[in-house]
Homo-oligomer: A and B are copies of this chain.
Amino acid sequence: MENKIYLDNAATTKTRPEVVEAMLPYFTELYGNPSSVYEFANQNKKAVDEARKIIANALGADISEIYFTAGGSESDNWALKAAVDAYADKGNHIITSKIEHHAILHTCEYLEKHGVEVTYVDVDENGIIKLDQLEKAIRPTTILISVMFANNEIGTIQPIKEIGEIAKKHKIPFHTDAVQAFGHLDINVNDLGIDMLSASAHKLNGPKGIGFLYIRKGIKIRSLIHGGGQERQRRAGTENVPGIVGFGKAVELAMATMKERTEKEIKLRNLLMKRVLEEVPFVRVNGDKVKRLPNNVNFSFQFIEGESLLIMLDMNRICASSGSACTSGSLDPSHVLLAIGLPHEIAHGSLRLTLSEENTEEEINYTVDKIKEIVDKLRKMSPLYED
């Protein structure tokens, strides 16, 4: 399917050709297992180390603090479950937010069934966590604060530095799900007081199925996947060498192009928001206007329902999303949109457009034209519209 307009980069991104290029030798030529002793495998070991170094540098971390995983979900699961295990002697209370990704929320649900207590802190109408509520939620038994860096649906960026300070003040480890932020925003784990950080390569033009968990030295850890001695004995499983190499390359490119790329995205994003707000009635933009991922737009169109909108956009070759991709198939309205206070039926009419630097002004203008047409058509069909 050529000449589609891909506006769903928060769901996943195109792997950059340079990234695939970097991965290729590690399939059929340098296919050795990095744990082997012979020279042939040494080259894999070096390639893995190199990728680890690129990533550590991008975060201001040490290479020994980066642990590769199979993606953001595994990293999130690991961070939470390991903390619960390792700090069991201190307590069993976790603080998180109401608008986390399901990889955090469902893990919390699971942990709650196993005796862990979880406080879900509210966010304001822009999706920003209530810091006073967060600090008040701290108990002597609190063993972890986990708040996402930037939200996958509405793009809101959290006050990570402030959360880091609160966590430090109370000596509580601080984890952040940075799956949407890493490679798109500047992140220095030391400046921000982050103790653990999850990321996933396919959100920054790297391959799917590879992620990492940053774990600050001194944080107690336990394994999630037990077995061989890979990843400093902390994450078993033969290393996904091509994936790791691809992740390294993607991070290298993401860091090098960040400024220019996000400037371009912001320009396109602003054009998109401006035109829709001016030309479509009964619409709102969800999420913070300023503290927002460069490439994220999230609209709610009153009186219409998201899926219908998506299908009609699709028929016009526009790839978009309503809520997060991994929850499609679910009929519930987005927990994020409910958390920022949208009523049920408006939450249902939401549309997420997440851009990349490859999008053009022409594409954005075409998309706005189509949105206008489709919203109009669907509203004519809606029993809510003229009520």
Complex interface bits, A40-64 against B, C-beta within 8 A gives 1, otherwise 0: 1101000000000000000000000
Within 8 A of B (CB), among A1-60: 1, 4, 6, 8, 11-17, 19-20, 24, 27-28, 31-33, 35-41, 43
With A73-B225, A319-B32 as known contacts, state yes or no: A27 contacts B40, CB within 8 Å.
no
Question: Contact partner of A223 among B110, B226, B237, CB < 8 A?
Answer: B110
Complex interface bits, A165-189 against B, C-beta within 8 A gives 1, otherwise 0: 0000000000000000000000000
Chain B residues positioned under 8 Å from A107 (CB to CB): 226-227
Contact-residue size bin, chain A (C-beta under 8 Å from the other chain): 35 or more
Q: In the complex, given contacts A19-B27, A70-B209, A228-B325, what are 19 additional A-B residue pairs having Cβ atoms less than 8 angstroms apart? A: A11-B35, A14-B28, A35-B328, A37-B314, A37-B321, A38-B319, A70-B71, A70-B237, A73-B226, A73-B227, A77-B227, A102-B229, A103-B227, A103-B236, A107-B226, A200-B238, A207-B242, A228-B327, A229-B326
Q: Is A320 an interface residue (CB 8 A)?
A: yes
**Nearest CB in chain B: distance from A117 CB, A:** 17
Number of copies: 2
Can you list 19 A-B pairs with a CB-CB distance of less than 8 A?
A: A1-B40, A16-B28, A20-B27, A20-B28, A33-B326, A35-B325, A37-B307, A38-B310, A38-B314, A38-B318, A76-B227, A102-B227, A207-B240, A208-B239, A208-B242, A209-B238, A227-B326, A229-B326, A229-B330
Q: Is A311 an interface residue (CB 8 A)?
A: yes
Which chain B residue has the least Cβ–Cβ distance from A41?
A: B319
With A13-B31, A32-B319, A237-B72 as known contacts, state yes or no: A226 contacts B110, CB within 8 Å.
yes
A239 CA to B38 CA in the complex, in Å?
33
Question: Contact partner of A228 among B37, B310, B324, CB < 8 A?
Answer: B324
Which A residues are within 8 Å of any B CB, using their own CB? 1, 4, 6, 8, 11-17, 19-20, 24, 27-28, 31-33, 35-41, 43, 69-74, 76-77, 101-104, 106-107, 109-110, 200, 202, 207-210, 223-230, 236-243, 307, 310-311, 313-314, 318-321, 324-330
User: Which of A40, A210, A241 gathers most chain B CB within 10 Å?
Assistant: A40
Which chain B residue has the least Cβ–Cβ distance from A235?
A: B73
Chain B residues positioned under 8 Å from A72 (CB to CB): 237-238
B240 touches A70 (CB 8 A): yes
Chain B residues positioned under 8 Å from A307 (CB to CB): 37
**Nearest CB in chain B: distance from A96 CB, A:** 13
Q: Top 3 A-B pairs ranked by shortest CB distance?
A: A228-B326, A209-B240, A70-B70
B229 touches A327 (CB 8 A): yes
With A12-B238, A31-B13, A325-B33 as known contacts, state yes or no: A228 contacts B20, CB within 8 Å.
no
